[in-house]
Structure 1
Amino acid sequence: MTTSAPESVLDVISELLIERFEIPSDEVRAEVPMRDLLTDSLMVVEMAIAVHEVLGVKVEEEELREATLADLVGSVEARRTDR
């Protein structure tokens, strides 16, 4: 029996960006502002919903517009451990 480690928040969010939003994987880097990855308001709303559905953490649209990928991951991780 093989047990795989749970995916990290960074892996999950990166996978969402690449798979669901079709962002090229070479553009998904920690220092990149989310507003550069999610280029329109519909993408921002969809990402907020996806993070809530997949990770169980509510993320505000404004937070997505202002954070880098690393900032977002840190914020989501902190909220997940507060439970």
Structure 2
Amino acid sequence: MTTSAPESVLDVISELLIERLEIPSDEVRASTPMRDLLTDSLMIVEMAIAVHDMLGITVEEEELRDATLEEFAASVEARRTDR
């Protein structure tokens, strides 16, 4: 296992979906709409909190409803690099 390369934001968010929200790993694909992964409002809130805790980025609930996993990860990554 290589430890020199940092995890991508997509990897971190995918891991959060699988580990914390217990979404089956075969359902977590870059092209999947976040609204299909986060099926209720509690999951959306939990994901927003988890992203803030892990990555230090505040996300709005609408972002989690309107984007695919890949689009959401790209948006979070852009905000991380703008700091």
TM-score range, shorter chain: over 0.9
Between the aligned partners of 2:3 and 2:33, the Cα distance in structure 1 is 34
Residue of structure 2 equivalent to 1:65:
65
1:76 maps to amino acid: V
Superposed, 1:3-82 pairs within 5 Å as 3-82=3-82
| Runs of 4+ residues over 6 Å off in structure 1 | none
Identity %: 83
Deviations 1:42-75 (CA, angstroms, capped at 9, x unpaired): 0000100100110011110111011100110110
Between the aligned partners of 2:45 and 2:30, the Cα distance in structure 1 is 20
Q: CA RMSD in A?
A: 1.1
- Give 1:5 shift: 1.6
- For structure 1, which runs of at least 5 residues remain unmatched after alignment? none
- Total equivalences in the alignment: 82
- Give 1:3 shift: 4.3
